[in-house]
Amino acid sequence: RVGAGTFAARTGGEEFALLIFDATAEDAMAAGERFRKAVASMTLDLGSGPLSVTVSLGVALIADGDSVADVYSNADAALYHSKVKGRNRVSLHNAAAGDGSALRYRIYAK
């Protein structure tokens, strides 16, 4: 369930997009972290025993002049960063930091 001003959609096999309107980077990261923690705290019982699940998230903000493809690509890059850094985390794409910057991503981790 998502709140007012938010749109969720499935974009691929195991990938989903969540659009949060009028959110700051801090708002978006906090929302991602709440979602990550909620998923990690759940246990699924599929009949063969309990199964724990985690999620990796990538966050990107829309900047002036960005196309939908730009934002999606930036969020996908942040998602990849979360996966490479150990999964079960939220990474923020910071376009202003540039491609080579070590400060490009802000990460919330386990």
pLDDT truncated to tens, each residue of the chain (110 aa)?
A: 566 777 778 888 888 787 888 888 888 888 889 888 999 999 988 888 899 999 998 888 888 888 888 888 888 888 888 888 888 999 888 766 654 443 445 555 55
The tokens for 11 are 């974009």
Which pLDDT belongs to residue 104? 47
Residue 15 is a catalytic residue: no
CB 83 within 8 A of CB 107: no
How far does the chain reach from its first CA to its final CA, in angstroms? 23
pLDDT for position 12: 81
What is the chain's alpha carbon radius of gyration, rounded to the nearest angstrom? 15
Of 92, 96, 90, the residue nearest 65 (C-alpha)? 96
pTM of this structure = 0.78
Which of 101, 76, 71 lies closest to 91, judged by CA?
Answer: 76
> How much is the pLDDT for 41?
94
Catalytic site residue from 14, 15, 26, 33: 14
